[in-house]
Amino acid sequence: MSFKATINYSPNFSIKKRSKKSIKFLIFHYTGIGSDKKTIQRLTDIQSEVASHYLIKDSGKIVIFVPDLYVAWHAGVSAWKKFNFLNKNSIGIEISNPGHQLDYKKFSLKQINSLIKLSKFLIKKYKINKKNILGHSDIAPLRKKDPGEKFPWEYLAKKNIGYWHNLNKNKLIKVRNKKCNKILKNKFFTYLYKIGYSKNYKNQNEKLLIKAFQRRFRPQLISGIIDQECLLISKNLT
Ligand SMILES: [Zn+2]
């Protein structure tokens, strides 16, 4: 299995080479920039100090900025389970989309098909656990919203990229917006930590942490409020 790509190297990576074994995560991003041209300018500009390993353009075409065995600067301050600063343990994939600040739109089928090909290749090559396929907002929930609620996590899980709950949708929708008491809310957070979300974020901004979970696993409603649907989903995922 393979994929087609063009190479456009970026200076925004760490010089020290890493081992194949240290690659444990795939991190998905949206670019948050309106055009591919501007995105490529930014991700190859030494001043910006940001780069992902890969970009998937609007057309579905793939660009390589940094080879896998070098640490690209895409995640920033981040945490997941016992990992901090996930750049050193991850491969970053940017997918073109103007994002929430501009004109957040559905990802195209061409983009998603390319993402599936690329992800399958990387998952196999680096033996990446399906629970280690994450969005930027999962690991930096206070700063980031990408790839956001329009990203097709459920569809990707069906293709063995990442994972999803196995609950009945019609049953879930009935408890959407149903309130949770304090005890249930605390349970929700214990499930969240088991999934991998960092404990550090709760005290700083509980609402943004809840929203990150919702963008990932309950994309129909991003309320920042724990309801019974969120509780059931979080429990099912642990
Ligand atoms: Zn990002």
Per-residue pLDDT of 109-151, as tens digits, reads 999 999 999 999 999 999 999 999 999 999 999 999 999 999 9
Our answer to whether residue 206 is catalytic in this structure is no
pTM: 0.97
Question: Per-residue pLDDT for 177 more than 60?
Answer: yes
Structure tokens at 11: 């200076």
30 C-alpha to center of ligand 1: Å? 6
Per-residue model confidence as pLDDT tens digits over 66-78? 999 999 999 999 9
Centre of ligand 1 from the C-alpha of residue 112, in Å:
17
Q: Which of 49, 94, 206, 229 is catalytic?
A: 94
Ligand 1 centroid–CA 231 distance in Å is 26
- Ligand 1 center to 180 CA (angstroms): 31
Query: Taken in order 113, 213, 190, 176, is the CA torsion positive or negative?
Result: negative
